Amino acid sequence: MINSILHWNRIALEATRKDFSTDDPTKNPAPQQGGPTRTSHHLAIVHIAMYDAYFGAKGKQTYSNFLPAEIPGTLSDDGIRIAVAAAACLTLIDCYSNQKNIFLSAQLDFMSMLPTTAEEMSAAIAWGSLAAKRILEMRENDGSEASDDPYTPSPLPGAHRPDPLNSGQGFLGPLWGQVKPFGIIDLVKKVPTTRPPKMDSQAYADNFNEVLNKGRDVGSTRSPEETVVGLFWAYDGARNIGVPPRLYNQVVRAIALKHGASEEQSARLFAVVNVAMADAGIQAWHEKYLYNVWRPVLGIREAEAGWGPTGIGDGNVGTMGDPFWVPLGSPPTNQPARTPFTPNFPAYPSGHATFGTAALEAARQILNLAPTFKFKFVSDELDGKAIGANGVRARFEHEFTIDSAIAENVISRVFLGVHWRFDCIEGQKNGSFIATQIAAKFPEMA
């Protein structure tokens, strides 16, 4: 028996991969939904539409609060699956219009596997289409259109500026924190945030010295296993791979398959996971541009007096800067001619930590997973096909518990040299809070 949610989740994730694809490895992809923020936003829309199509047809509460009169009469199980397909197809077309024909073809192929009457098929398509239309209408003018407005960086020590090794990278999402949340009303007010450590503090010095040594490209104290962790969880918009929300959906798929999640469980699981990640992105980007913390590539290079735009230095007696320090960096997988880079938005908190913890913690709670639950996963960064600087990387399958997956994902950014540990701790805390709030309330707003 086909699981319509897993089927269309796979198609959605392939769409996000294609969105970051190009036939020319010397050119950067030009995605329609660039960055993890936009990808998480649109994956939430797709999975809410599927959720409403599935549960609305069963007479249960929907996210979009459909009235009983709006919901069709009884649909068979296959009729409900056709409704899910219609909802997924239309929202995917809205998100990734360049792939419209792919989605329409996939919908026809899917419906051909489901024996049903022409009358029921028509009713099911109409209902799924209404579910898609409703969530798309609800998200009109939600603030996502204005998120790439110009941003003027500060020259002061501690403030984020472009990666000096990739000076033309610009800034991603300075206004994304103003986007309307999906799952938590007054999101940025409700998440209990913590200020980053002061630049002259011992806590800052400890974090500085850790990434100075662990995150550097050449001469690092990072072990081979730690290098693998950094690469495994990367997904930094790489060609033919994409961004973290795709990665965490892939991980949740592995969890759902190992758990044996039913179609009904899958509908709730992927809606909650993707709503949690969408809100995680909004909250993280609000906090990023609120505190505007510089990345290690700036903090380490400009720590000493005389270096940087102002020459002030970081004022911390516990740090010793290196103006020539280079991070291992986010890997430009499948584009070996490009150099590794630091992402183009402030450090605090880590988006990876916030997105990943929100997704994995939501999966734990929705499926009621025991601490001993284990699953295996192969990252696209290490799938035996991905190309790194030294050729094709070997395939690596790793086994996790939920806690070990969260921990590895969180610390991976330090091993790449693109985050301070305090960025990662804050992201983990916030992601867990967001997941718990949404898992307890969904489909209502928390």
Q: What pLDDT does 23 receive?
A: 81
CA angle 41, 335, 149 (to 5 degrees): 40
* Helix (H) / strand (E) containing 365: helix 351-367
The per-residue pLDDT of the chain, averaged, comes to: 96
Q: Average pLDDT for residues 170-193, to the nearest whole number?
A: 96
Same-domain check for residues 182 and 224: yes
pTM over 0.85: yes
Segment (H or E) for 398: strand 397-400
404-446 pLDDT, tens digit per residue, is: 999 999 999 999 999 999 999 999 999 999 999 999 999 999 8
For the chain, what is the largest distance between any 2 Cα atoms, rounded to a whole number of angstroms?
Answer: 76
Residue with tokens 């997924």: 88
Q: Write down the pLDDT at residue 69.
A: 82
Q: What is the per-residue DSSP string for 20-61? A: T--S-TTS----TT-HHHHHHHHHHHHHHHHHHHHHHHTT--
pLDDT tens profile 337-360: 889 999 999 999 999 999 999 999
Would you state the pLDDT for residue 265? Answer: 98
DSSP 8-class letter at 216: B
Contact indicator for 208, 197 with CB cutoff of 8 Å: no
Nearest alpha-carbon partner for 248 in 367, 351, 116, 384: 351
Last residue of a domain, one of 89, 122, 140: 140
Are 63 and 443 contacting, i.e. CB atoms less than 8 angstroms apart? yes
The answer to whether residues 60 and 121 belong to one domain is yes
Residue 336's pLDDT is 84
Q: Distance of CA 50 to CAs 4, 53, 144, Å?
A: 9, 5, 21
- pLDDT value at residue 1: 77
Provide mean pLDDT across the span 123-146: 95
- Does residue 73 have a pLDDT over 90? no
Q: For position 73, which CATH number holds?
A: 1.20.144.10
Q: Are residues 301 and 408 in the same domain?
A: yes
Mean of pLDDT values over 85-90: 98
Q: Are residues 296 and 158 in the same domain?
A: yes
Verify that 79 and 164 share a domain, yes or no: no
User: Cβ distance 48 to 135 under 8 Å?
Assistant: yes
Indicate the pLDDT class of residue 126, thresholds 50, 70 and 90: very high
Strand partners, 330: 341
pLDDT of amino acid 147: 66
- Grade residue 72 by pLDDT with cuts at 50, 70 and 90: confident
Residue 93 predicted with pLDDT over 90: yes
Tally of structural domains, the chain: 2
Alpha carbon distance 196, 421 (integer Å): 11
Residues 43-69: pLDDT tens digits? Answer: 999 999 999 999 999 999 999 999 888
In the 8-state DSSP scheme, what is residue 319?
-
Query: CATH number of the domain that 420 lies in?
Result: 1.10.606.10
- Rounded-to-integer distance, Cα 157 and Cα 162, Å: 13
Residues in the chain: 446
The CA radius of gyration of the chain, in Å to the nearest whole number, is: 22
Query: For 223, left (φ over 0), alpha (ψ -120 to 50), or beta?
Result: beta
On whether both 179 and 129 belong to a single domain, the answer is no
Mean pLDDT calculated for residue range 269-295: 98
Residue type, 72: P
Residues 244-256 have a mean pLDDT of: 98
Q: How far apart are CA 134 and CA 284, in angstroms?
A: 27
Residues 162 and 128 in one domain: no
Contact (Cβ atoms closer than 8 angstroms) between residue 162 and residue 168: yes
Instruction: List all residues 6 or more positions away from 67 whose beta carbon is below 8 Å from its beta carbon.
Output: none
Question: Do residues 78 and 112 both lie within one domain?
Answer: yes
- For residues 292 and 423, state if they share a domain: yes
Domain boundary among 84, 117, 140: 140
Tokens of 228: 């693998």
* pLDDT per position as a tens digit, 283-324: 999 999 999 999 999 999 999 999 999 999 999 999 999 999
Helix (H) / strand (E) containing 391:
strand 391-392
* Residue that finishes a domain, picked among 124, 140, 156: 140
Tell me what pLDDT residue 150 has: 78
Nearest alpha-carbon partner for 311 in 250, 321, 442, 336: 321
Q: Can you tell me the distance from the alpha carbon of 251 to that of 369, in angstroms, rounded to the nearest whole number?
A: 14
pLDDT at 30 over 90: no
pLDDT attached to residue 22: 86
Which of 236-245, 273-282, 285-294, 333-342 is least confident? Answer: 333-342
Question: What is the pLDDT averaged over residues 97-105?
Answer: 97
pLDDT at 43: 98
Same domain, 63 and 166: no
Q: What residues make up the domain containing 125? A: 1-140
- How many CA atoms within 13 Å lie on the side-chain side of 237? 23
Percent of the chain with pLDDT over 90: 91
Distance of alpha carbon 221 from alpha carbon 433, whole angstroms = 33
Same domain, 253 and 375: yes
Examine the domain organization and report whether 253 and 223 are in the same domain.
yes
Place of tokens 């541009």: 289
Distance CA 433, CA 436 (A): 5
